[in-house]
Amino acid sequence: MLTKPLETIIAMKYTETITSLISKGLDEVNHSDKGHLSLSTRRAILQAINKPCVIGRISILCALKVYSIWNDFFRNDTEIIGLIKKTEKYLLGQTSKKGLLEDADHLDVFADNYMEDDITAAFAAKVAVHAAYDAGSGADRVISDYDSEEEIEDPDEWDTAFLASLVYNGGIVDWDSVDDRRNKEFWNWYLTDCIKTACADGRLPYPASANKATSPAKYIPYRTQLRLWKEDAKCCACINGIKEVLVKMVAFAQWSKCDFYCYTVASTSQPEIYYYKGNEPVWFGPNGIKILIYLSGKVEKLKDLMYSLCPQEGAFYLCKITIYKDNHMDIRFDYDTRDEKLKEAFSDSDFSEDFSKYPRAKEFIPDWLSDILKRKKISF
């Protein structure tokens, strides 16, 4: 994929028309009791700019303006800031439109999941989604979208700058709650620093935290639960029941080994089996659904048993059992890592529900779970 030089697609000087419209807009904002910049003036400015990359950068800057509201709510965010960066990469010809819009669709739904927890933060995230859609739609589509009336109550119909202004001024919760001072502050910024930065050929002002490495994981004490599958009779019986089934499968199918994974969060389990005849794992597939249901039931019982014996340590999210053709067994439990499968299959609400069912002592709560519980306003 070709990368376009930054200065060839961005740098533009204000025309007399743009300068005049900005002056008109500043006068409009500063002589308005509400401090508002009208839809017609915003639209006229974008029409005068009429350069897709610059208009896309204006939308990105609006997303960055309110990003801290999302990041204060969702600590150590990588998803939304990643979408903002990907939007800029698209404008520079460094990633595909298809990939950008797929990510935007996914994160639009992701942000919706937090509406009940913090509507302002959720809409701050959706400003980034709007910016991605703007970039993927092109200047003509963005400008025509400005025909929509602001009185429409569907935020999907609002332009990116207007949505960002409501997040910034408090009006996203209730239009009667708009802080006029902050509204005036936002639109003054939009007409000055925002447009100036968008038209320049420099890099965009990402927050410093967006470029920092993730801090090391919190230290979690050793769990005595990890010995129970060997030492407690009831736990041993559960493990042996699982092992018996897997050993028969390996012997009958002449596998070299098999890996049984059972992810279990709250009231839901996701079991999977991968087998080996060569070096590559092969998914066992849906034909073994009855076996998987039986095995996951055993794992759920094991989870309850182990938790009941050491409740302060919490309950595991993953049980992985490997059986080799010589009947040797390896077993691993994971209580603290939210791997890709757990991110994909289970929502924050699932983990908060799991915590309500299996509360754990503070020293056994990993940072990512702590963040979820804070967002869900659950004490621990």
pLDDT digits (tens, 9 = 90+) for 253-266: 999 999 999 999 99
Whether residue 233 has pLDDT greater than 50: yes
Of the ranges 2-16, 153-167, 186-200, 295-309, which one carries the lowest mean pLDDT score?
2-16
Task: Please state the three-class secondary structure of the chain as a single string.
Answer: CCCCCHHHHCCCCCCHHHHHHHHHHHHHHHCCCCCCCCHHHHHHHHHHHCCHHHHHHHHHHHHHHHHHHHHHHCCCCCHHHHHHHHHHHHHCCCCCHHHHHHHHHHHHHHHHCCCCCCHHHHHHHHHHHHHHHHHHHCHHHHHHHCCCCCCCCCHHHCCHHHHHHHHHHCCCCCHHHCCHHHHHHHHHHHHHHHHHHHHCCCCCCCCHHHHCCCCCCCCCCCCHHHHHHHHCHHHHHHHHHHHHHHHHHHHHHCCCEEEEEEEEECCEEEEEEEEECCCCEEECCHHHHHHHHHHHHHHHHHHHHHHHHCHHHCCCCEEEEEEECCCCEEEEEECCCCCHHHHHHCCHHHHHHHHHHCCCCHHHCCHHHHHHHHHCCCCC
pLDDT digits (tens, 9 = 90+) for 110-141: 999 999 999 999 999 999 999 999 999 865 65
**Domains within the chain, CATH numbers bracketed:** 6-211 (no CATH), 224-375 (3.30.500.20)
Banded model confidence at residue 1, pLDDT cuts 50, 70, 90: very low
Q: How far is CA 57 from CA 9, 160, 164, in A?
A: 11, 11, 14
Query: How far is it, in rounded angstroms, from Cα 122 to Cα 74?
Result: 10
pLDDT digits (tens, 9 = 90+) for 325-349: 999 999 999 999 998 899 888 888 8
pLDDT digits (tens, 9 = 90+) for 40-91: 999 999 999 999 999 999 999 999 999 999 999 998 788 899 999 999 999 9
Average pLDDT, the chain: 89
Whether residue 196 has pLDDT greater than 50: yes
Banded model confidence at residue 8, pLDDT cuts 50, 70, 90: very low
Whose tokens are 């309950």? That residue is 315
Type of residue found at 62: C
Banded model confidence at residue 214, pLDDT cuts 50, 70, 90: very low
